[in-house]
Amino acid sequence: MHPILLLGATCALPALLLADPFARDDIRLGPPELLLADGEPIDTGEYVGYAGPLVTDFDGDGDMDLLVGNFRGSIQHFENVGEADAARFESRGLLQAEGEDIDLNNW
């Protein structure tokens, strides 16, 4: 199987789903697995939940990092300190601009 990652948001906890994109019939998803950072489940509940995850090479080091937007308008940054094919995330806090937390107010 050649797994792909699909990130979803269930209120405050981004989940990891595995699927085989080369399946000849309907794609079958495995059971969800909570994403971890610093050995703990990633939880945006402190920021009112509604996680909006994005996987991108944010720091340009060749592996995929995780940014998670939330309902309050903050963006949490989780750096991949593992390998490109074996992610291990560490929290880097909220994204900032000019020393201030980014606030993408949606009101």
The pTM of this model reads 0.75
| Contact predicate 57/39, CB 8 Å | no
Q: Is the pLDDT of residue 36 over 50?
A: yes
Structure token pair of residue 106: 């949606």
Q: Which residue has the higher pLDDT, 46 or 93?
A: 93
| Element (DSSP H or E) covering residue 23 | none
Torsions phi, psi for 105 (to 5 deg): -55, 130
- What digits encode the pLDDT tens for the residues 51-83? 788 888 999 999 989 998 888 889 999 999 998
- Separation of alpha carbons 61 and 72, rounded Å: 29
